[in-house]
Structure 1
Amino acid sequence: MVLFHCQWFWTHYTYMLSFLFTIEEINRNPHLLPNISLGSDIYNAFPSEQNTMENALFLLSGGNQGFSNYNCQTQNQSVAIIVGTASDYSVQIGSLLELYKMPQVTYGPFDPVLSDKEQFPSLYQMAPKDGPVIYGIIWLLLHFGWTWVAVFASSDMKGMQFLQDLKDEMLKKDICVAFTKTLPAATGLYSIIDTHFVIQMQFHYSNAVSSANVYILFGDLGSFVTLHFVEGFYLISGKVWIVGNPYSAQWKLVFSYFSKMLHSFHGSLSFANKKKTIPGFKQFLETLKPYQYAGDFYFTKFWIDIFECSFAGSLCDKIGDCPPNSSLKFWTNFDMMTTSYFSYFIYNAVHAVAQVLHKMLLEKIEVRSPEDADHVILLPWQLHPFLRKSQFTNSEGDYMSFDDKKHMAQYDILNLVKISNVSWMLVKIGEFVSQSPDNQGMAINNETIKWPATFKKTPQSVCSQSCAPGFWKIPQEGQPACCFMCDLCPDGHYSNQTNAQQCTPCPAQKYPNSEKNHCHPKIVTFLAFEDSLGITLTSTALFFSVVTVAVLRLFLKHQDTPIVKANNWALSIILLISILLCFLCSLLFIGRPCTATCILRQVTFALVFTVAVSTVLAKTITVILAFKATKPGRTVRWLLVSGASNSVIPICSLIQVIVCAIWLGTFPPFIETDLHSEPRNLIIVCNKGSVIAFYCVLGYLGILALGSFTVAFLARNLPDTFNEAKFLTFSMLVFCSVWVTFLPVYHSTKGKFMVVVEVFSILASSAGLLGCIFAPKCYIILIRPDKNFFKSLKNRGIRHSEISTYKYQ
């Protein structure tokens, strides 16, 4: 069994010690591989593909010379290889080992590239998938509201896979990448400084300083050191770094050898795998003696570097004898007593191979004779069927297997804190647990986090400031989704959350407040009697009604006077009553509408105005017949005496009644709630039902008024003593002017103001009829009674034919 060692500093030597400890533990176990000692060879993997391949050839040839397809030590042939933390090493030797179907078990981080069984059919990864750390980073970004971040990833396969997976998840959560930078692959101490990369970073930071305050870093120790050189020249500082690599051994190396660069990472956050323990390993390290592995050059050098002393039998020259009580537990420069994550998987990897060997030996012994039991030969390719199905529970109670089943991932969230100028520590501030993409949880204590000195509080990292409630995001063309503008929600819409993608329409019964962040219930409104307009119109209607009643009473009292008789007393009374009803019908338009008032207001308005206008028409016709009757001919005189002109009123009114009946029988008016005319009000209005019927009513009334105006206009030149033809003409001119003006004004208003316009038109037209026709007569009756006698008419020299006309009227 072989261990490819692949790190730079002595802290990684604990991987080899854990390997040796596991070998010894298995050999002491009487139940595992009984009567068989498990052996091992250790090969160092230098940061060079050439050296790595040479060591692989030495292994396969079983000697110190790399001759392929030749091994003179068949009895001691290795059956499996335990490979180090870097995936690159597994890739480099994978093709060579595959020629011999040599099982390769890696103890490094899980790499999706190495899980491709078509490319690496003989490779097995001990560590579970660490993909959930990406979900942890996403949770961390969402927790602090960071949506604008930069990403640095190593240029190896694992770094590129991490970068792609992270971008995919960030896209799902509307998190944007300000820029990405791949760090040069660094597999050794002397290959980490890439001049070309440093020049690139110089150009980037001198021309485009990113507004992102959060940088995500995924890589090995070489990535940290590379950034240290860039920072030293181009000041990449004052940022919050999130370290995505969950294997915290690199932090320990930074503490030990690169403490000067840590000021750039003060306040950084990182994810670290939960600490594991290997039973008995700590005691093994504490009792380790310098002579225990005297034949191992690296062990000797390791001991000399730590304690600056050597021991008898050392491969190095004497530099001072080591004290008898020297022990690693007294070495305080670095904590070697804590089991690293990789040491834990080396322990499990060796046990996994040992379990497989144990099962294979049991099967071979069962099919062989007892005398051949000691001569069992195991070949590397024979391990694969057992390795694929290998599963066991280790001494810590953790389930181990080589399949792709997802394990529950548990990470500690650590905060790098500066204690003094030379003292740093990682403080645990939270935990992240992930069983599946849909089953995750994070606990974090914000109060204990120490941020970089440039931030006095929790830093922000956004491309655009959040849109407050009441606003919505407007994407910017050619910019990432996180870069946007905020605009106030349009009328009738609101948003009650930050960074709303779009505004939500308020329900029909509600309206948005001035801040557009929530909706208020609309106020139910109508033209009420209590409103100022309602009071004004009601008072006006009642005032003119009282005036009309007074004029009616005046005409009843002076019905025997010439001026009342001359103007056809009966028609005047009908006209006054219809005008009174016109004033009173306007009250139906005021107050909360109901089904009855909706029907009555339109029908009553149509009928009473039809009576009023037809009465004016009858009065005009009567005036014309009275003056025509003075000429020879009995027909006109008969029409005048018989009162045929009075039949105009019922005929005209009957036509309007028929139109109204059709209206009510087909599509009558009804109550309706107007939701849109006024943004903040629910207006209760009367829908006219059939619009055609409504305009037929108005059209008929207009034709009747126009006819009355035409007839009165033609009679305007008749003798004007007690002749009201001129007054009738003027009254109908006022009437038509009001209703012609009504139509455009009515259609240009909304809500209850439409009702106000209609009521005003009713009152104005009715007042016009009352004033123009009856005001001159009231003036003579009340102010100039001397003119209200036939004697005064005679004194004025009026012809007898005119006086006869009054009598016929």
Structure 2
Amino acid sequence: MSVLIILLLLFLSHMVCKTHIVKCNAYELESPLHKYHQSGDLIIGGIASQARFTASPVRFVAKPPPALLEELLVVPKNYQHILAFAFAVKEINKNSQILPNLTLGFHIYDSYVNARKTNHATMLLLSTLEKFVPNYRCDIQNDLIAVIGGLDAETSYHVATILDIYKIPQLLYGSAPVMNDKTPGLSFYQVAPQESRQSVGILHLLMHFKWTWIGVIVMDSDNAERFVQTVLPLFSQHGVCFAFLEKMPKFTFATEGYDMLEDGTKIHEKVMSSRANVVLAYGESYSMAFFLWLPYLSDLEYVKTKPRGKVWITTAQLEFSSLVFQKTWDTKIFHGALAFAIHSNDEPRFHQFVKSRKPSSTTEDGFIRDFWQQAFACVFPNPDEGHAEEDFHRFLKNVSFNSSAGDKVSFNHNGELKAGFDIINLIVSSNQSFHRVKVGRMGPQGPAEQAFSINEDAITWHSWFNQTQPVSLCTGSCQPGSSQKMKEGKPFCCYDCTPCPEGKISEHEDMQDCHKCAEKDYPSKNQDFCIPKTVTFLSHEEPLGISLISLALSFALTTVLVVGTFMKHHDTPIVIANNRGLTYTLLISLLLCFLSALLFIGKPQKVTCLLRQTAFGIIFSVAVSCVLAKTIIVVLAFMATKPGSKMRKWVGKRLANSIVLFCSFVQAVICIVWWATAPPFPHIDMNSMTYEIVLDCNEGSAPMFCCVLSYMGFLAVVSFTVAFLARKLPDSFNEAKFITFSMLVLCSVWLSFVPTYLSTKGKYMVAVEIFSILASSAGLLGFIFFPKYYIIVLKPELNNREQLIRKKR
């Protein structure tokens, strides 16, 4: 168990890239490398022996099968991974603590990216060494314990359909094949983390750099179709949309050059003409052979669009390897690319192992000369050819150990390796080689926001971007204070930025809609944030409140002065005229009217809200009732002077008191009904003022408030009418003219009050009502009592009976 996992870990640690079939043999490590064209996958079969041989040499022997032509070119792809595998086996075999009494070996077979060849190689793993006899084994010491399938999903699928019959597990270091409903559950163990974790990592990478306008190129395969159907919608949900989505053709031996040029030219035009500076590439291990056509095509005469810098983001499945004839092609298009790779740590002893390999000898390595010959254009004599052959699952499910590099290795319940992804920055050197720099990480567990990390300063971007972070947006960001307006027929990443309507804000970039502030806040000038409203009411401390208080107290003191003067001259004719009782009642009610205005100033309380409108309504009704009574008394007094008039019995205090009491009682009843049904109460008004929260009194019932005002208006109109009709009566005992003017002022004030009150808001509504109270009360005080006060104080000689009685001529 531990052997297989360490073996897997070392493959994982050094980015196993090409799909190989490797078979582990017991006594020696012989690897019959079938000569192949460079797109073939390798399949690795692991075999363990019951007897331990401590001095087992590690040898690779390239042995072509008889069916293959000798002239086929040997190109060992991803040779470093074969070395990593050999190093792992060697480390396991020399450590007696890992697999006591067992020795690991392996065999390597080529799949040729062909179902028939893959099935044939898999059957070889299940047969006796060197004998292709299906379902027959005579070698009891060599047991096939597992198979490491191809990096490409299609190869792994063909291998699995046979291995599943024998219940032999397959270890995958690429994507698991897409299964249809009729496919039985195959035994896959993925030595790659969950692909969904990689998708989340890519999404967070895009969100981190605010790349919301990207292009996507995928392989024409089942896995790519699953990626398009499941992952790309997730990107769209997070605000990423796609400038283009292109499918690259499958690369096979039968691919014609013309078809490759035609498809490549189409994709080249899409990529290079797009405003999207980021391209996401999802493909199989051999997809790089197709991508390398893009810079090659740009040199052709009929290609219109010249290459420009792009940030390529690649998935862990895609290997940066090329075909033999492409090794001199320009790879600078991928300079600065960001690639996801299975998380790994360096193993120092592996580097020493690699340095110890000598191309001059093929005793232990049948691949090394082929690799050197293709990589460095060396010429070697043909190596010796030898052979070795092939060859159990129960240990894999519960495997868990720490590798020599310090990584914990285990599988989850789905048979997927519990590991994260590294984010790799690819830097192209002058010799067209790739230098891989680890710049970030997508951890295997925890919330995606915490698992994702990246070091921006460590990234080298494509020279096109002058080492500044690329921007990949269809439309620039909409600044706070504006919102996105979608363009008809365009992807949702393409939009116009429109200012927020009045009363709404957007506090972040790229908001899809503006929204209102809370009731306690109001929008800023630029409509990009909310400002708390200030709490306001008509206060005693503010200038307006102080002015109104001063005015009310001044009028109240003036009224007190008039009352005092009248009381001092209580028995004079001018005071006695027109009913002293009504005079004093009117003065006291006016004094209370002036003082009632003070109830409207200050922070609204339950008591003040309950009293201020009703108290003023009743008191002012008493005042107007007194004026009405005075007017009626004047008329009746004139009529009573006529000979034989029956009006004498109506002239007197009883009638005056009855008028005042009745009219005031009606107003009191209205106020009591108001209190009983919907009384006024303190209220917090958050909506009437844009920048303020107004503390005021809600009138409770608007109709009852209107009834109170309407009744006072009715009394004023009646008083004005009677006084107007009596204005031309003889001057003796006649206050009708003064009452007419006072009622005219009163009606004018309250008629103008209604539109003014309705057109103002907040505390100024209260100020308007206070001013109306003071103005109307002052009108009554001035026009009715100022002439009498003037005679009493300044013209006392006129305050006698002879002056008041004029003979009728």
Whether TM exceeds 0.5 here: the answer is yes
The change in CA–CA distance for 1:63 and 1:649 in structure 2 (over 3 A counts) is: closer
Residue in structure 2 matching 1:142, options 204, 207, 224: 207
The change in CA–CA distance for 1:394 and 1:711 in structure 2 (over 3 A counts) is: closer
**Residue aligning to 2:308:** 237
The one-character-per-residue Cα deviations of 1:25-81 (angstroms, maximum 9, x if unpaired) are: 9999999899999785x655546778778989999999999xxx9989987999897
Once the two structures are TM-superposed, the CA of residue 167 in structure 1 deviates from its matched residue by: 0.8
- CA–CA distance in 2 between the matches of 1:394 and 1:549? 100
Once the two structures are TM-superposed, the CA of residue 791 in structure 1 deviates from its matched residue by: 5.4
- CA–CA distance in 2 between the matches of 1:163 and 1:749? 61
Question: What SS class does the counterpart of residue 439 from structure 2 fall into?
Answer: strand
**Residue aligning to 1:7:** 38
- Which is further off, 748-757 or 771-780? 771-780
**Residue aligning to 2:218:** 153
Once the two structures are TM-superposed, the CA of residue 450 in structure 1 deviates from its matched residue by: 1.5
**Residue aligning to 1:657:** 668
Once the two structures are TM-superposed, the CA of residue 601 in structure 1 deviates from its matched residue by: 2.2
The answer to whether the aligner puts 1:210 opposite 2:221 as a matched pair is no
Given that 1:551 and 1:778 are in contact with CA atoms closer than 8 Å, whether structure 2 keeps it comes out as yes
**Residue aligning to 1:261:** 330
- CA–CA distance in 2 between the matches of 1:122 and 1:658? 91
The answer to whether the aligner puts 1:744 opposite 2:809 as a matched pair is no
Residue in structure 2 matching 1:449, options 459, 462, 474: 459
Once the two structures are TM-superposed, the CA of residue 695 in structure 1 deviates from its matched residue by: 3.4
The answer to whether the aligner puts 1:702 opposite 2:717 as a matched pair is no
The residue type equivalent to 1:196 in the other structure is E
**Residue aligning to 1:621:** 632
- CA–CA distance in 2 between the matches of 1:275 and 1:789? 121
Once the two structures are TM-superposed, the CA of residue 615 in structure 1 deviates from its matched residue by: 1.1
**Residue aligning to 1:86:** 152
Where in structure 2 are there 5+ consecutive unaligned residues? Answer: 1-22, 24-31, 40-74
Give me the CA root mean square deviation. Answer: 4.8
Question: What SS class does the counterpart of residue 415 from structure 1 fall into?
Answer: strand
The answer to whether the aligner puts 1:415 opposite 2:425 as a matched pair is yes
Question: What SS class does the counterpart of residue 677 from structure 1 fall into?
Answer: coil
The one-character-per-residue Cα deviations of 1:718-773 (angstroms, maximum 9, x if unpaired) are: 22455222332332233223223323332332221121111111112112222332
- Which is further off, 7-16 or 595-604? 7-16
**Residue aligning to 2:320:** 251
- CA–CA distance in 1 between the matches of 2:94 and 2:37? 28
The change in CA–CA distance for 1:229 and 1:51 in structure 2 (over 3 A counts) is: farther
Once the two structures are TM-superposed, the CA of residue 498 in structure 1 deviates from its matched residue by: 4.3
Once the two structures are TM-superposed, the CA of residue 570 in structure 1 deviates from its matched residue by: 3.9
**Residue aligning to 2:289:** 222
Q: Where does 1:107-506 land on structure 2 (aligned, <5 Å)?
A: 109-113=173-177, 118-119=182-183, 124=188, 127-129=191-193, 131=195, 132-187=197-252, 194-201=260-267, 204=270, 209-219=273-283, 220-232=287-299, 233=303, 234-246=305-317, 250-251=319-320, 253=322, 258=327, 260-273=329-342, 274=344, 283=353, 286=356, 292=362, 308-311=378-381, 356=392, 399=409, 404-418=414-428, 420=430, 425-435=435-445, 441-456=451-466, 457-469=468-480, 471-473=482-484, 475=486, 478-486=489-497, 496-500=507-511, 506=517
**Residue aligning to 1:536:** 547
The one-character-per-residue Cα deviations of 1:271-322 (angstroms, maximum 9, x if unpaired) are: 22326769889648845676646998x877556555744448879xxxxxxx
The residue type equivalent to 2:315 in the other structure is G
- CA–CA distance in 1 between the matches of 2:546 and 2:106? 109
Given that 1:467 and 1:473 are in contact with CA atoms closer than 8 Å, whether structure 2 keeps it comes out as yes
Residue in structure 1 matching 2:744, options 730, 733, 741: 733
Question: What SS class does the counterpart of residue 737 from structure 2 fall into?
Answer: helix
The one-character-per-residue Cα deviations of 1:163-183 (angstroms, maximum 9, x if unpaired) are: 444314313433222221112
**Residue aligning to 1:572:** 583
The change in CA–CA distance for 1:64 and 1:231 in structure 2 (over 3 A counts) is: farther
Given that 2:750 and 2:772 are in contact with CA atoms closer than 8 Å, whether structure 1 keeps it comes out as yes
Question: What SS class does the counterpart of residue 261 from structure 1 fall into?
Answer: coil
Larger Rg: 1
- CA–CA distance in 1 between the matches of 2:720 and 2:591? 21
The one-character-per-residue Cα deviations of 1:391-415 (angstroms, maximum 9, x if unpaired) are: 6979869757797323222333222
The one-character-per-residue Cα deviations of 1:490-535 (angstroms, maximum 9, x if unpaired) are: 6666555444566665554444444555544433322123323223
The answer to whether the aligner puts 1:595 opposite 2:606 as a matched pair is yes
Aligned length: 722
- CA–CA distance in 2 between the matches of 1:231 and 1:106? 42
- CA–CA distance in 1 between the matches of 2:329 and 2:373? 26
The change in CA–CA distance for 1:180 and 1:22 in structure 2 (over 3 A counts) is: same
The one-character-per-residue Cα deviations of 1:121-167 (angstroms, maximum 9, x if unpaired) are: 67756633551322221222222222222111222333333344431
Once the two structures are TM-superposed, the CA of residue 114 in structure 1 deviates from its matched residue by: 5.3
- CA–CA distance in 2 between the matches of 1:714 and 1:520? 59
Given that 2:219 and 2:247 are in contact with CA atoms closer than 8 Å, whether structure 1 keeps it comes out as yes
- CA–CA distance in 1 between the matches of 2:398 and 2:625? 109
Given that 2:176 and 2:190 are in contact with CA atoms closer than 8 Å, whether structure 1 keeps it comes out as no
Given that 2:444 and 2:451 are in contact with CA atoms closer than 8 Å, whether structure 1 keeps it comes out as yes
Larger RCO, structures 1/2 (Cα 8 Å, 6+ apart):
2
**Residue aligning to 1:368:** none
The residue type equivalent to 1:176 in the other structure is C
The residue type equivalent to 2:769 in the other structure is E
Given that 2:505 and 2:527 are in contact with CA atoms closer than 8 Å, whether structure 1 keeps it comes out as yes
Once the two structures are TM-superposed, the CA of residue 539 in structure 1 deviates from its matched residue by: 3.0
The one-character-per-residue Cα deviations of 1:97-129 (angstroms, maximum 9, x if unpaired) are: 68x957897666433325669537677566335
The change in CA–CA distance for 1:118 and 1:689 in structure 2 (over 3 A counts) is: closer
- Which is further off, 19-28 or 236-245? 19-28
The change in CA–CA distance for 1:7 and 1:90 in structure 2 (over 3 A counts) is: farther
Given that 2:215 and 2:242 are in contact with CA atoms closer than 8 Å, whether structure 1 keeps it comes out as yes
Question: What SS class does the counterpart of residue 464 from structure 2 fall into?
Answer: coil
Given that 2:93 and 2:103 are in contact with CA atoms closer than 8 Å, whether structure 1 keeps it comes out as yes
**Residue aligning to 1:345:** none
Given that 2:553 and 2:594 are in contact with CA atoms closer than 8 Å, whether structure 1 keeps it comes out as yes
**Residue aligning to 1:724:** 735
- CA–CA distance in 2 between the matches of 1:191 and 1:398? 46
